[in-house]
Amino acid sequence: MTPEFVVAFAKDAIILTIYLAMPMLGLGLAAGLLISVFQAVTQIQEMTLTFVPKILAVFLGLLFAAPWMLDELTSFTRNIFISIPNYIR
């Protein structure tokens, strides 16, 4: 294994991680933004009000995106296992 291979492999893993995390982070961001706007409009300044909607949004996002995420992770892992003979050389 060359240093270039290790760097490319790590880059692919990091890109996949970001690719899989972005929808959940976006849902959490959107829920937080909506709750913040609601708090600003109604002048309710309760700090704990933001946690439950964010958790629910991320949980629902995971519920719907889990098959896609599992497919992406499975294909990445399958490609790694298929390429093991090439890595050994």
Helix (H, G, I), strand (E, B) or coil at 89: coil
Instruction: Based on DSSP, count helices (H) and strands (E) in the chain, helices before strands.
Output: 3, 0
The whole-number pLDDT of residue 13 equals 95
The predicted model scores a pTM of 0.78
| Residues 6 or more apart in contact with residue 33 via CB below 8 angstroms | none
Summarised one tens digit per residue, pLDDT across range 8-40 is: 999 999 999 999 999 999 999 999 999 999 988
